Structure 1
Amino acid sequence: MKNNKIDTTNLKIKFMNNKKKTIINFVTIILILVFGIAMTGSYPKIDAAGKGDKYEYKDRINGYLCTYEFQKDLSKNTFVLYKEALESMQGKEIEASDIYVKPESEFESNNDYNILKNKMNDYLKDWKKDFENNFLNLDYVVLNKDENVIKSNNNSLGELIKSNNINNLGDKYSFCISIKFDENGKFDIENLYDGEAFSIGDKLVLRSLVYTDNYDIVNPIKNMTFIYGINKHLKYTDKISMAINRHNHRYETITYFYIIILSTIISILALFIPFKLENEIILYKKLYKLPFEIIFVLMSIFISRIASWTPDLIRNTMDGSFVNLFLNEIFKIEPAIGNPAAYLFNVLYWSVYITLVFITVAIIKNIFSVGLIKYFKEKTLIGIIIRFVKRTVQKIYNNIDIAIHKINLNDRSNKFIIKIVAIDAAAILFFFIVWCIGTLLTASLLFSAFVGILLAFIYCIIMFNLLKQYVNKIKNKYEVLFNTTNKIAEGSLEVYINEDLGLFNQLKEQLLNIQKGFKRAVDEEVKSQKLKTDLISNVSHDLKTPLTSIITYVDLLKNENITEEERKSYIDTLDKKSQRLKFLIEDLFEVSKATSGNITLNLVKVDIVELMRQTQIELEDKISDAHLKIKNNFPKSKVILELDSQKTFRIFENLLINVSKYAMKASRVYIDIIEGEDSVEIDIKNMSAEEINFNSFDIVERFQRGDKSRNTEGSGLGLAIAKSFVEAQGGSFKIEVDGDLFKVILAFKK
């Protein structure tokens, strides 16, 4: 009874603690959402204060258009459009160097021309990429010398220009100019819309176009007119929209002022909330486990990035861009749903920012609660690393101590070291005894010291010679190993080391293994290259033969003078050749799937005896045409295996078709199905009509045939497909050749 009461009490305490945590986290979320809603609700005030009474769109766009950056970009875009316009007129691709660089004959060296050519082509590629990605709000029309439109990205602008109805440009565009180049490359600038937004002068465009001289452009633009316009309503976020908005510094200032006020309020709340309540907040507990440096870096990045995005977010939310461009165009959300969704996103956006600021301040406050030294040791990466290094050093020291007691006396190097140490110890003991005896007998420390030094000197000479001989042996063995390694590196794979290398014996064995591996790799690569060459040659021949016939007979059918019988004959031949090409491509697809391992197996219980009989019935015509007599040696009972019935039928079909093509006419074909305890073997034997002069391993490669002339029907893929299907089902495929006897052996596990 007492234990039951204790358990009940513990459950109540646990329930109350969980309830307390739930309430604290719920209240925290509510407060964060309230502050997020309040910040989102202040958007109209931020927007009004940011724009101010003196806010003028024309001032911002005028400020952007007068920048040197815009002049450079306009110039680059003009050269990109000129190249594309020439390509459109000539109907082919043209390299930028062929347009803008002087002829190779005018250069002092080919190297100078190639350098400039490559540099010019790279410039145009970069300019085109920048134009396509960062000038989405720039409309353009390119006209030839006859005022016909060659290229345009805005039909309405092209139609206005074509109809000379430029008076209506002011309704849509805040900026629209025309740059017209004559036959000598000289240009004239015309402001098509002289509105309040912008008034262009000759110096602006002249400076932007002259700027490209820095890119070694020699040949000028000729006989072409370029018209550029910036829409009053910017649809996309690109260089133009960002640059125009960036010129409104007042907006950013007001936004950051509100962010500072919000951050200050959240920081004050975080400082006054007790630690007990903070520790119940789930996200705070999880982040507090991370090292301080990681928290500091993450919070700094997220808080700074969110704060930097805020002016654009508020501006896009207030002017409807967030709904119209982002939610409507990308996600197809209607404005009726998009407006609430936009404000919900902003509330969540500020909730994340408030949460990050709150947790950052709470963690910094907790440093002083825990204590700087303790926090440094337990919660910083540096402290954790120091503790890790300390533990690691201690562990290494302990391992060394253990290793000393586990010296392997069977190791030759250890034996030698132990001998030297033992000799040194014996020598030191001998010198000490001599010194003691000499001191006692002569009562002279000086004499005994002289004798001891003399003996030590002699000992050092002896030990030096012994060690020198040992080191020379090691150097000689190393030299043998090094020379062998160099020979292998130079490509000599027939090098052997017969002598004992002592300490280097293990390395010698590894080197010999590497040598064998290199030889195998070289042999495999040579074989692979040969197979690739044969594959390309064979597939080209097999695809080209029916395709050439199809082309020939199509040309014959075009002749109107042929008879109806000839036409039918040609069509019949076309049908056969196209079917031949179809079967070849299907076989190629099958063997490609098999080689890549992309085979899906539908395993069922299959009676392979019945399946073999069914295959023979299906191919009875081909076998009869070849005047072959099949001799079956099958078990009387069923032989059931778990196989893919369709792919197994394809295996038998390919093998029997191969027999009908290449077996000696009017000969016998022997098919045996032998059932063993663990496996079933299928043997197919026939006498070849032609002399067998190929390798049994190569004949199963793709596009390999028994007739090297490749005059027989077939793709050369039959055996390759059969082999792949057998191996995919866990079986083995082997070919044996004895004189002109051709034998295929299949084996499947039960």
Structure 2
Amino acid sequence: MEKKKKRVFVLGLVALLSVISIGMILLCRNIQSENQGTQTVDVSAVSREMLLFMLDQTRVVNKDYSVLSLGEDVPYSIRSELEYVMEEELLTARADFINSPNFAYRITNTATGEKTEGGDTSLFVKDHQMYSTFTYDADGNVTSTGDYVSTDFTYMSAYQLLKNSISISTSNARETYEIYGKSIPKSQIQLRVPQNLKAEFAIPQNLTENNDIIWYNTENLVHGEMSGRFLAVTCCMMVFFIGLYILFYPVSVEQEVNLFAFMRKIKAEIKWAFLGTVLCLAYIGMAFLDVYTMTGELQTALQMLGIPYAELVPVVLQFIGMMLTGLFTAMGIFEIKYMLTSGFCRYWKEDSLIGSICGNVKRRFEKLSEVDLSDKTDTVLLKYVLIQMVIVGVIACFWSFGIVLSVLYSVLLFFYIRKKLKKVQKDYQVLLEEAHQLADGRFDEEITQDVGIFNALGDELKNVRIGFEKAVSEEIKSQNMKTELISNVSHDLKTPLTGIKNYAELLGQDNVSGQDKQVYLENLQHYIDRLNNLIEDLFEVSKVNSGNIELNPVELNVVALIQQAQAETEDLLKQKNLTVILDAPENGIVQALDGDKTYRIFENLFTNIAKYTLPGTRVYVSATAQPEYTEIVFKNISEAQMNFTPEEIVERFVRGDKSRHESGSGIGLAIVKSFTEVQNGTFSIEIDGDLFKAVVRFKVN
């Protein structure tokens, strides 16, 4: 279910980002088509260049005019540099405007009537977006009319025209220019204001695409108010819809998404620095991409570079850019949501570098101040004395200010010790409660928290609880076994006793014939033998369990003993047509064991097989000698369904079909287990479907 929710979340986020991206691209295209060809020039950006162009053209209509007036006090090297730089500025301005299809000009000498003009002069009366005139009288006073009025044409100075190209500085408080480290009076470097001059400038309504100064300082309407609104709407819509989607899903699903899960592993400072940088670059890049796409400049540049599908490439770039921007926005919003849901303090405490450093410092300090009551007290006291000695030594280094520090340290030490004492009291109460529970016999609750200086004692209480639980469990198990043993044995004892009683009564009757009496005596002897066997088995088990048993180990051949037990039970095995297949070394296996007890083990196993094996099947017996033990395995197919565990069949003294039988004590396997273990061996049972497997192992001494 969680994987399905995560998959739905990822698909929904991708679909949402795609819809937003496509919507923004369509809106961008719509704005581009509505404002196609509607352009305006930022005239203020080229005001200085227009002024230089006017001064350059003034020299055309007035041959005696020179732009700079340099005094005799100007050194020759600086004079030459100033004249060279000014000429370069004038020639650059001439190149920018003289052949521009987006600029019309007319410069007229009002005294002589001489003029120079260029561009479409009809713009002076119609179809222009800017037309301005600047008229200078005989004294150099200027009047300006039209769409653009600039103070650059009114307050002209050499500093204004030269500051971008030469190391020149000035101050209103000083009447000098600093040029290449030399002070020159302003009166020595003057700009000649044109006289008897009229300058007319015009810019057409619709510009012709050209790489000139006018075109470079052109804005589509979308560059201004429309572009700002578009980008604001784009960012707001993206953040709003993505934020709404992120907030809609539970954080438990979102944090399992691979990308978000990866970001969760990065420390907060690194993560926020990365997201902040990437988001700023993404939104700025998206803004530039949208603007240049809406103006058509990107398409034009791609066409000039010969890139195919120049109209489609910006659309693809916009889609990819918006998808990536939306993805990083989603990551940022998720981090904010995670921080708020998990807690601001917890977030910075656990997920930040500062939190990790502070946590490590705190843990080291707490480890330094830890006390283990099981350690030597001298070591503990020495550690604290050394800490205090270092702190007091540091305070003493501050001389008189150390008094203030000692007071502050004392206050802090008081609160620290009080906090530690409260922790000790709390830990003591936890241990005391645990002790009360143990005293009341409640073992289901244990200490799971850190109990500070009492940790060693807490661990011992846990061991006591585990020991009590184990002892109680063993006692209950033992009592249950005793109860079941008494119940089963009582049933076994009752059966032959009842038979003996019944046949004794029949023999006491007067009308019993000699033939019936003989039958009754045989049956009576059968029940007596069975009762005798049961009592002997009980004595054997009780001797082993009580440890009151004597062993007489001798070197005997285990394989020969198995064959002897098989031969003794051959009649029982033939009654069910069972075939025994023995797999053992030909020279046998010799080991020091008690002959009677070991024979009884094998006899009981063969007897058990004869009673409960499916007729007409094979019985497999194998004996192998391992370096550490001798292993004997008996395998047979059960006649009845074995709906019990291997432990039950030994511990509870039940038969394969869980029913009582007329013969046998019902504790044959218990005797096998007891006689095996008393000889330093092990006995185990394995059940696989109807396959019954008994494994006897004797450890090699």
TM-score range for the pair, normalised by the shorter chain length: 0.3 to 0.5
Pick the structure with more strand per residue. 2
Bigger Cα Rg? 2
Pick the structure with more helix per residue. 1
